Amino acid sequence: MKLFTSIFLLLFSLSLVSYAKQETINIIPRPASLIVQKGHFNLTAQTPISISESFDAKFKGYVQEKIKNDLGFTCMIGQGNTSPLVNAIIFEQTNDPSLGDEGYSLVITPSSITGKANTYAGIFNAFQTLRQIIPANALKLKEQQIKLPCLTILDKPRFEWRGLLLDHSRHFQPKEFILKQLDEISAYKVNKFHWHLTDDQGWRVEIKKYPNLIAKGAWRADRRGIHWWSREFAKPDEPKPIGGFYSQDDIKEIVEYARVRNIEIIPEIDLPGHSKALKAAYPYLSCRQDLLFEVSTGGRSPNNTICAGRESTYEFIDGVIEEIAQLFPSKYIHVGGDECNKNDWTVCSECNKRLKENHLGNFEELQSYFITRINHQVTQRGKTMIGWDEIMSGKGTPGAIIMAWRRNRYSPEVDAPRAGYKTIQASYTESYINNHQGPAYLEPEAPRGIIPLKKVYQYEPIPSVLTEKEASLIMGTQVCLWGEFTPNPEISELMLYPRVLANAEVGWTKPELKDWKKFEVAIEDNFKRLERDKINYSKSTYNPLITFVPDTISKTAIVEIKPDIDLYNLRYSVDGTDPTPHSKKYKKAILANFNTDIKAALFTKKGELQGSIVTQRIEVIKKKK
Ligand code: ACM
Ligand code: ZN
């Protein structure tokens, strides 16, 4: 009995030690395997860092910069490790097929920290994991010695595509903003930046062959202060002060900055729709030679499709693709293909002629003819074309990659891999982070949908109906921040964070290891890192959502209150007073009278309010006739 008791106590205490240590390690995305061991490594300014010469020459400077950023001191960095190093951090190249292209191992013992990877991408990821093992408040503490727990991590991503789309056509953002975001997202192992560079509201990339693209296409009339969807069209003779563009030198700088951070930049030139700015710059690309074109000032953009009939259109695009292919080292060029309005094509003699001569059955097939020709221009330059899921319409575009965005009426997330296309998920209902992330009245202006942090986190990119073979065609997932309602860097960051981090874990971590409860603890820890990096992140996850179903006969409503983050006590009131830590705890749906205010909020165990008090009026709003 005595022996049994002591073994039990030993096991129990061991598990407590291990549990407690694990809890302080909050890595996003969650690694494939992490075992905490006994002991610590002491990291100080005297700790030497050794980096294999085979890794990128710029990694050394990058590591130095981040150690300073995270800890406030610098370490000595050498290259190679000819003599055995003690009390050192070592990053070395290995040849271990199990780690793949982006995987790594990271082992911390009392005498060394060793990261190993086959590739630069892998060692970059190993370093990001190490950065997150360093306590988030290390810089604030100003300690000269940081204790890191001994552990072994073996890690690699679930998907090769873990992306973010930024739309800088609708609102141009400065180069510095982009560099800051690339730096931050790479800390969470996001590896693809899909850059939406052209649309109706502005052409943002310098193409030397066509100077009007930036001279005219990058600028629009000022309609700030008027709702995006109500803005009057621009007049030809009024000033066009709103906009901007990225010069080829800017782009080279951004691409190189991203490369050092293991991020591939995929440019998107959105064709043949979404082309109002392109048509404003070069009106001869239009079917309608009778119309004058100006860059759109807001959402309304009729006649925004370029002519698919004239050969001059294809020649022009070839010139654009030529420069884009040279400017961006990515394997991919995204050519859009979404929401192509075909009205102009139907009345255009050139488009009709093209249709007839190529025995095309309808204008959907004219779109696939157009996209297939652009695909040829892209593949000729050794690149692979990506398009939004509309490029499957008509006769489709064999060999292209589908970015599956539409949902509900459409199911490209299933149809594309079933048709044999490689597919990237960019779900309109789960990953469009231009939507609100909490109760709308507490959010900046945005489309009507609500996509909270938990919803982004819980997204599963592989539809369960796919066979194993079809599932293998899913390359990964990305969140998209469309730019209609992100006029400046501050609001853009508010929409990006923390939802980018949730999607980073969706893309990296196997579903069986994903765990919302652990993620919400990790996200709070990482809020400190976002603060340290001066990121204007959103706290909407703390704002509960109140919804109700009214019954007009009894003049009551069934009210549901849902927290996004589950770490706190959810309390509410029905009498219009602000809830306090002593208000009723919400457990299940409640019945409320019409014309009352339901208020709800989250409180810590100690009674501190987390986030905002949310109010919802229970009333029936009559629809306007
Ligand atoms: C899209 O949202 N039109 C791709
Ligand atoms: Zn035409």
What is the spatial distance between Cα 432 and Cα 91, in angstroms, rounded to a whole number?
Answer: 37
So what's the pLDDT on residue 24?
73
Confidence of residue 19 (pLDDT cuts 50, 70, 90): very low
pLDDT above 70 for 16 = no
What distance in Å separates the CA atoms of residue 463 and residue 474, rounded to the nearest whole number?
10
Task: Tell me if 525 is assigned to some domain.
Answer: no
CATH number at residue 587: 2.60.40
CB 49 within 8 A of CB 43: no
* 524 falls within a domain: no
Question: In the listed set 509, 529, 558, which residue is the last one of a domain according to the structure?
Answer: 509
**Dist. CA 147 → ligand 2 center (Å):** 67
Pocket test for ligand 1, best of 405, 425, 435, 479 (most atoms within 8 A of CB): 405
Across residues 15-43, what is the average pLDDT? 77
Q: Are residues 329 and 398 in the same domain?
A: yes
From 194, 301, 339, mutation site for ligand 1 pocket: most ligand atoms within 8 A of C-beta: 339
Distance in Å, CA 21 to ligand 2 centroid: 66
Question: How far is ligand 2, taken at its centre, from the CA of residue 125, in Å?
Answer: 48
Q: How many domains does the chain have?
A: 3
C-alpha distance from residue 18 to each of 14, 38, 138 (Å): 6, 9, 22
Q: Which of 102, 184, 199, 470 is catalytic?
A: 199
In the predicted model, what is the mean pLDDT of the chain?
94
Say which CATH number the domain at 151 has: 3.30.379.10
Do 266 and 324 have their domain in common?
yes
Q: Are residues 486 and 547 in the same domain?
A: no
**Residues 526-537 pLDDT 10s:** 999 999 999 999
The better pLDDT of the pair 80, 317 is held by: 317
Percent of the chain whose pLDDT exceeds 90: 91
User: Does residue 526 form part of some domain?
Assistant: no
The binding-site residues of ligand 1, defined as CB within 6 angstroms of any ligand atom, are: 338-339, 388, 405
Please tell me the distance from the alpha carbon of residue 339 to that of residue 90, in angstroms, as a whole number. Answer: 50
Backbone angles phi, psi at 469, to 5 degrees: -65, -45
Which tens digit of pLDDT belongs to each residue from 280-295? 999 999 999 888 899 9
Q: Under 8 Å CB-to-CB from 49, ≥6 apart: which residues?
A: 63, 67, 75, 76, 77, 78, 88, 89, 90, 91
Q: What is the mean pLDDT of residues 160-174?
A: 98
pLDDT confidence bin for 615, thresholds 50/70/90:
very high
- Catalytic, 274? Answer yes
pLDDT band, very low/low/confident/very high, at 69 (cuts 50, 70, 90)? very high
- CA-CA distances (angstroms) from residue 607 to 575, 579, 603? 20, 11, 5
SS3 assignment, position 121:
helix
Do the Cβ atoms of 425 and 413 come closer than 8 Å? Answer: yes
Question: pLDDT confidence of 623, banded at 50, 70, 90?
Answer: low
pLDDT at position 518, please? Answer: 97
pLDDT at position 569: 98
Over residues 66-76, mean pLDDT:
94
Q: Residue whose CA is closest, atom 3 of ligand 1? A: 338
Q: Which of 130, 155, 180 is the last residue of a domain?
A: 155
The per-residue pLDDT for 622 is 72
pLDDT greater at residue 344 or residue 291? 344
Nearest CA to ligand 1 atom 2: 405
Q: Which of 433, 525, 424, 435 is nearest to 476 (CA)?
A: 424
Residue 621: pLDDT above 90?
no
Q: Give yes or no for residue 357 having a pLDDT over 80.
A: yes
301 lies in some domain? yes
The mean-pLDDT minimum among 8-22, 272-286, 400-414, 459-473 falls in 8-22
- Looking at the structure, do residues 249 and 353 belong to the same domain, yes or no? yes
Residues 505 and 583 grouped into a single domain: no
- What span, in angstroms and rounded, lies between the C-alpha atoms of 435 and 449? 5
566 catalytic? Reply is: no
Q: Which residues contact 609 (CB under 8 A, 6 or more apart)?
A: 601, 602, 603
* Closest ligand to residue 351's CA: 2
Q: What pLDDT is attached to residue 86? A: 84
Q: Which of 165, 269, 338 to mutate to test the pocket of ligand 1 (most atoms within 8 A of CB)?
A: 338
Residue 365: its pLDDT value, please? 98
CA distance 31 to 8: 30
- Average pLDDT, stretch 242-249? 98
Provide mean pLDDT across the span 449-461.
Answer: 98
Average pLDDT over every residue of 128-151: 92
pTM of the model: 0.95
Closest ligand to residue 428's CA = 1
Task: With respect to residue 162, please indicate whether it lies within any of the assigned structural domains.
Answer: no
**Catalytic residue selected from 171, 194, 274, 334:** 274
- Checking if the pLDDT of 272 tops 80, the result is yes
Q: For this structure, is 334 an active site residue?
A: no
Q: Which of 391, 422, 188 is nearest to 271 (CA)?
A: 391
Q: Of 493, 509, 525, which residue sits at a domain end?
A: 509
Choose between 144 and 561: higher pLDDT.
Answer: 561
Q: Check whether residue 12 and residue 64 sit in a common domain.
A: yes
Choose, from 339, 415, 531, 597, the residue flagged as catalytic.
339
Question: What percent of the chain has a predicted confidence (pLDDT) above 70?
Answer: 95
- Residue 518 included in any domain: no
Question: pLDDT tens digits for 465-482?
Answer: 999 999 999 999 999 999
- Residues 453 and 564 both lie in one domain: no
| 570 shares its domain with 431 | no
- Tell me which residue range forms the domain holding 503: 168-509
Asked if the structure places residue 125 within a domain, the reply is yes
